[in-house]
Amino acid sequence: MAEYTESPDPFRTADKKGRLLSSGTFALQGHDAGSVVSFRNIEVKPLLDLDVHLGNGLTLDAALANSRKYGYTYGFVIAWPTPDDFRKPPQAYAGQDLNHSAITSFSPDNGPGVEFDYVIGNFAPLTNADTRIDDRQRFMDQLVGRIEKLSSQKYIKVLARATALPADLKANYDTLWTPERMDRVIKALRDANIAMEINDRLHTPSAAFIQRAKAAGVRFTFGSDNTGPNDLGKLAYCIDMIQQCGLKATNMWTP
């Protein structure tokens, strides 16, 4: 295998002017007329991790090294407001990351020197890990209502931490996410053409939720949603959901 980034105007001899790489190129080569080469069972699985956070010890160079090691294309999400020194790396995507309080101050216009490929909305519940929730049904209804309301922002392309619940409610995920609540979230995302993130760190949504959303025509993205360098994932949960839920390339959203 070779790691190679082609320049905008690579040198080629006169008889090889057309030998340029394009999007999605795979090069399989026998070097001389005497070579006997066989290829078998070549499979391609495009894996995009569109929720990677820099900082807390994770540098851009270290993140890109990890993406090359495991074969993922990364999308680096940058919290609003955008730092003045951020520049989108040419070999990755860049996403504007909005929590639900940033929606009110956000402008779809890009920051200086930044060309964002997508806006990712993080609508996770605003509770601390140790918060005790006394009225669980009321909390769930408020969460669903917040997702419905914020999904009306047409510039949002991905729902991050989709369906994640606070620590106090995690054990009751399957009962609290009733079919009616699932369908309300699914309808909001489908109507707004917003993709549902399959979150590798939080292991959400559940397979049942994903299958229900898939049947309704919702598309998906993958996200490590890391908190630093030590939990920048290998998308193991996402790959498991591909197999369990029968996800195909047509079920995925890409920038």
pLDDT tens digits, one per residue of 158-167: 999 989 998 8
Each residue of 137-171: b (16+ CB within 10 Å) or e?
Answer: eebbeebbeebbebbeeeebbbbbbbbbbbebbee
**pLDDT cut 70: percent of the chain above it:** 89
CA-nearest of 199, 250, 223 to 49 is: 223
Residue 181 has pLDDT above 80, yes or no: yes
Backbone angles phi, psi at 100, to 5 degrees: -70, -20
H or E element in which residue 93 lies: strand 93-99
Q: Coil, strand or helix: which one is 118?
A: strand
Q: What is the pLDDT of residue 201?
A: 94
Domain ranges of the chain: 46-251
Q: What is the pLDDT of residue 39?
A: 85
Q: Which residues contact 197 (CB under 8 A, 6 or more apart)?
A: 50, 51, 120, 158, 159, 160, 161, 162, 220, 221, 222, 223, 225
Q: What is the pLDDT of residue 111?
A: 53
Which comes out higher in pLDDT, residue 177 or 81?
Answer: 177
Residue 129 has pLDDT above 60, yes or no: no
Task: Let me know: does 88 contact 158? Beta carbons within 8 Å.
Answer: no
**CA 146 – CA 152 distance, rounded (Å):** 10
**CA 204 – CA 121 distance, rounded (Å):** 15
Residue with tokens 């520049």, as numbered in its chain: 87
Task: Let me know: does 54 contact 63? Beta carbons within 8 Å.
Answer: yes
Residue 242 has pLDDT above 90, yes or no: yes
* Average pLDDT over the chain, rounded to an integer: 87
Which architecture does CATH list for 46-251?
Alpha-Beta Barrel (3.20)
Which comes out higher in pLDDT, residue 2 or 16?
Answer: 16
What number is the average pLDDT over the span 223-231? Answer: 94
pLDDT tens digits, one per residue of 12-68: 999 888 888 776 667 777 777 788 888 888 877 668 999 999 999 999 999 999 998
Q: Which residues contact 79 (CB under 8 A, 6 or more apart)?
A: 97, 98, 99, 102
Which comes out higher in pLDDT, residue 193 or 233?
Answer: 193
The residue type found at 4 is Y
User: Which tokens is 211 given?
Assistant: 């299958």
